[in-house]
Amino acid sequence: MRGVLLLIGFILASFDFAEAQRASKVLRIGFLDASTESGSAVLAEPFRQELSKLGWTQGKNISIEYRFAEGKPERQRELAAELVHLKVDLLVVAGTGPAIAAKSATATIPIVIASGGDPVGAGLVTSLAQPGGNVTGLSGLATELNTKRLEVLKDAVPKLLRVGILRVPTGGPAGGRSLKELRAAALSLNLKLEEIDTQLDAKGLENAFQTAKQKQAGAIMTQANRNFVGARKRMVELADKYRLPALYSQKAFVDEGGLMSYGADYDDLFRRAAGYVDKILKGAKPADLPVQQATKFEFIINLKAAKQIGLTIPNRVLERANEVIK
C-alpha cells in the first residue's frame, strides 16, 4: 500500500513539475509588418494591450520579435524566413504581402493575419469558414472598401472630376485586384483615375504629389496598402502643400493632421488578432478557427485640414462621419 502511495505521489509531483515548466515557458511570437516601426506602432499597441488583458505579458510568458519591411516588399520573404529560423511559436502578420511571405516560409508554424485584404483570393486559406492550413485571422476588407472610398471622396469634394490614385508599383496580386475595382468604380461614378506609381522615399513622395497636380487631379486617394502608413506624416504635409483633398484608408493619417479617412477600425482588428493568438497559444489549431471579417468601420473628417486647403465639405457628408474634428 505504501508503495502505491509513493507511486501516486511521484506521478503527481511529476505532473506538477511539468505544469510548472509549461506555465513558466516564455513563448516566442514573430510580428512581421510591411510598414516601418513607427508605422506599425499605432497598431501594435492595441495588440499588446489586448494580449496583456488575456494574461500574456512581454518578458514574462511571451517574447515578441518585431520585423519591419520598411515599405520594401522584397524584404518580406527574407524577414519571414528569419523569424522562422528563430523558431517562433507563432507568427502575426500585418498585411497580405507579409502573410504570403510567412506562408512561403513555413507550413507548420501558426500564422495569424492581423489585417489583410482577401485571404482566399491571395491563396492563403481555402475558405473563410474553413482555413484548412496554418493560416487564420482577420480580413480588413481593404479591396472591397475601395469603391466606397471613391464614392465618399466624390461626395466630399464638390465638382470632382479627376482623382489621383497613389499606388505602390510592387503591390502584388492584391494591388492588382484593388486597381481593377477602383477603375470600375471610377467609370460608374464618371471620374477619371490618374494612376501614379509612388516610391515611398522623400523624393518619390514629392514627385507623386507633383504628378497629381500636373495631371489636374482634384483629389487623391491611396491604395489600402500598409506600406503607406509609415510615410503618413510626410504624405499629410504634401497634401497640404499642394492643396489636394486626400482620403486615406486608416485613422492614423487623420491623427497626423490628414483630411479624411474611411476604412475598417484597425485598432479593433489588432485587438481581435490578439484573441486568435491567445487561443492558438492555448492549443487551438489555425485550421479550426474561421477567418473573420472587419465588423467596425470609421469615417473621420478633419475640418482643420479642410480649412487649410480651402475646402468646404457638404453638411450631408459631415452627418455621415463617425467623428468630425473641429
List, for residues 159-175, the tens digit of each pLDDT value.
999 999 998 876 555 55
3-state SS, residue 176:
helix
Instruction: Name the domain count of the chain.
Output: 2
Residues 250 and 155 in one domain: yes
Query: Does residue 40 fall inside a structural domain?
Result: yes
Query: Does residue 20 fall inside a structural domain?
Result: no
Query: Does residue 212 fall inside a structural domain?
Result: yes
For residues 124 and 42, the model is more confident at 124
CB neighbourhood size of 145 (10 A):
21
What pLDDT does 172 receive?
54
DSSP 228: G
pTM of the full structure: 0.84
Residues 32 and 157 in one domain: no
What pLDDT does 5 receive?
47
What pLDDT does 21 receive?
41
For residues 118 and 198, the model is more confident at 198
Residues 153 and 253 in one domain: yes
Beta strands, E only, 97-239? 111-115, 135-139, 162-167, 192-197, 219-222
Contacts of 195 by beta carbon, 8 Å cutoff, 6+ apart: 165, 167, 179
223 pLDDT band (50/70/90 cuts)? confident
Based on the number of CB atoms within 10 Å of its own CB, is 10 exposed (0-12), middle (13-18) or buried (19 or more)? exposed
Q: Identify the domain containing residue 46 by its residue range.
A: 25-141+266-295
Residues 86 and 37 in one domain: yes
Query: Does residue 106 fall inside a structural domain?
Result: yes
Query: Does residue 8 fall inside a structural domain?
Result: no
Residues 117 and 176 in one domain: no
One-letter identity of residue 211: T
Query: Does residue 210 fall inside a structural domain?
Result: yes
Residues 237 and 288 in one domain: no
For residues 247 and 184, the model is more confident at 247
The answer to whether the beta carbons of residues 244 and 222 sit under 8 Å apart is no
d(C-alpha 86, C-alpha 100), whole Å: 19
d(C-alpha 232, C-alpha 255), whole Å: 10
What pLDDT does 62 receive?
96
Residues 248 and 272 in one domain: no
Residue 85 above 50 pLDDT? yes
Residues 83 and 193 in one domain: no
Chain-centroid distance, C-alpha 28: 21
Instruction: Give the sheet arrangement for strand 111-115, strand by strand.
Output: 62-68, 27-33, 90-94, 111-115, 135-139, 292-293
* Closest residue by Cα to residue 251 from 297, 195, 193: 297
